[in-house]
């Protein structure tokens, strides 16, 4: 840690991690099979999920965006073959969105990236270290939610 305070080190780590995750996700998308997806589109796919059809309102709320903003993204994802729209069987006015086979592949690739990141983060930690990490990340998460009025997605 040389002569840096713990706060300076934590700040550097958080900034580096945040920037690195965004860069790595974008690079991984551009160099892989899913090179036509942006990070934002990938996160939309992740929010739609693998199994249950979801309404536009549910997905927009989960992403913290308006339905209008989501509509533009969904239109692009439909054109690219990742998402499809289906009318609800019970109420034909309701449109549900689901992932196509290609969308499910993208979901799995993204999920693996996150699982690899988590596994590497906790590799070699004791159970107490893991609890401390979860506590620290939980406090950081709560700070962002409280300070910036972010609603809980899940």
Q: Is the pLDDT of residue 1 over 90?
A: no
Q: Is the pLDDT of residue 151 over 70?
A: no
**141 within domain boundaries:** no
- Nearest by Cα to 45 from 86, 97, 94, 96: 97
- Tell me how many degrees the CA angle 99-101-104 measures, rounded to the nearest 5: 55
Q: How far apart are CA 45 and CA 63, in angstroms?
A: 10
Number of domains in the chain: 1
Domain range for 75 is 6-123
Q: How far apart are CA 32 and CA 28, in angstroms?
A: 6
**114 within domain boundaries:** yes
Would you call 78 exposed, middle or buried from its count of C-beta atoms within 10 A (0-12, 13-18, 19+)? Answer: middle
**46 within domain boundaries:** yes
CATH classification at residue 36? 1.10.10.10
Buried b (16+ CB within 10 A) or exposed e, 82-119: bbeeeeeeeeeeeebbbbeebbbebbebbeebeeeeee
Q: Convert the pLDDT of each residue in 7-52 to its tens digit.
A: 999 999 999 998 888 888 878 777 777 889 988 999 999 999 999 9
Q: At what angle do helices 101-122 and 39-48 cross, to 10 degrees?
A: 100
Question: What is the pTM for the complete model shown?
Answer: 0.79
**14 within domain boundaries:** yes
Q: Convert the pLDDT of each residue in 96-134 to its tens digit.
A: 999 999 999 999 988 988 899 899 999 999 999 999 999
- What pLDDT does 89 receive? 86
Q: How far is CA 86 from CA 68, 72, 83, 91, 97, in A?
A: 18, 17, 10, 11, 6
**23 within domain boundaries:** yes
């Amino acid at each position: 840690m040389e002569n840096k305070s713990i706060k300076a080190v934590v700040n550097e780590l958080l900034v580096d991690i945040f920037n690195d995750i965004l860069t790595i996700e974008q690079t991984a998308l551009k160099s892989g099979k899913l090179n036509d997806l942006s990070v934002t589109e990938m996160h939309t796919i992740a929010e739609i999920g693998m199994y249950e059809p979801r309404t536009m309102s549910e997905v927009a709320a989960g992403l913290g965006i308006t339905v209008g903003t989501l509509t533009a993204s969904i239109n692009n994802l439909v054109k690219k073959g990742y998402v499809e729209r289906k009318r609800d069987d019970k109420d034909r006015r309701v449109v549900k969105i689901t992932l196509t086979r290609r969308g499910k592949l993208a979901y799995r690739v993204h999920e693996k990236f996150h699982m690899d990141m988590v596994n590497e983060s906790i590799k070699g930690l004791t159970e107490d270290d893991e609890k401390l990490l979860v506590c620290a990340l939980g406090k950081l998460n709560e700070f962002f939610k409280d300070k910036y009025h972010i609603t809980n997605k899940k």
